[in-house]
Amino acid sequence: MKSCLNSLKVSALTLLIIGLVTISVAHAAIEGGDAKKGKKLAKEKCKYCHVAGAEGGTITPLSKTQRQWERFYSKDKHNKKAPGTWDKINPNELTDIMQFMYDHAADSPQPETCGQ
């Protein structure tokens, strides 16, 4: 019985470590931005096109998973759908917006909207 409990403890600890490593690796996929600034910037620079009824449709961090946001930015999909729009946003601001969207994606530990 004692051996069974020890085995169970080791298994639980192993799963916990694997879970934490997975979260850390996933969280590190988009780095270098300030998510707090990104939230403010998303409201200022993105929201007018990305609310219900607007040209870009409703888009919030919850619209995609972290992996989908990562692909969206790495493949420059926004520029393909709305060419030149991101030219109005400096690279540091865009990184902050990307960080916010990624950190608060549907499958993130802290899913969130832009207050829409």
Measured distance CA(6)–CA(96) in Å, rounded:
45
Whether residue 66 is contained in a domain is answered as yes
Domains held by the chain: number? 1
pLDDT per residue rounded down to tens, the chain (116 residues) = 666 556 655 554 554 455 444 444 444 467 899 999 999 999 999 988 998 888 888 999 999 999 999 999 999 888 888 899 889 899 999 999 999 999 999 999 999 876 65
Whether residue 45 is contained in a domain is answered as yes
Whether residue 114 is contained in a domain is answered as no
Whether residue 61 is contained in a domain is answered as yes
The pLDDT value recorded for residue 26 is 42
The pLDDT value recorded for residue 95 is 94
The pLDDT value recorded for residue 99 is 96
The pLDDT value recorded for residue 15 is 45
Whether residue 113 is contained in a domain is answered as no
The pLDDT value recorded for residue 109 is 95
Whether residue 40 is contained in a domain is answered as yes
The pLDDT value recorded for residue 8 is 52
Whether residue 108 is contained in a domain is answered as no
- The range of the structural domain enclosing residue 87 comes to 2-103
pTM: 0.70
Whether residue 112 is contained in a domain is answered as no
Show the CA angle centred on residue 80, arms to residues 77 and 81, nearest 5°: 90
What's the gap between Cα 14 and its chain centre?
A: 26
Measured distance CA(51)–CA(19) in Å, rounded:
34
The pLDDT value recorded for residue 113 is 75
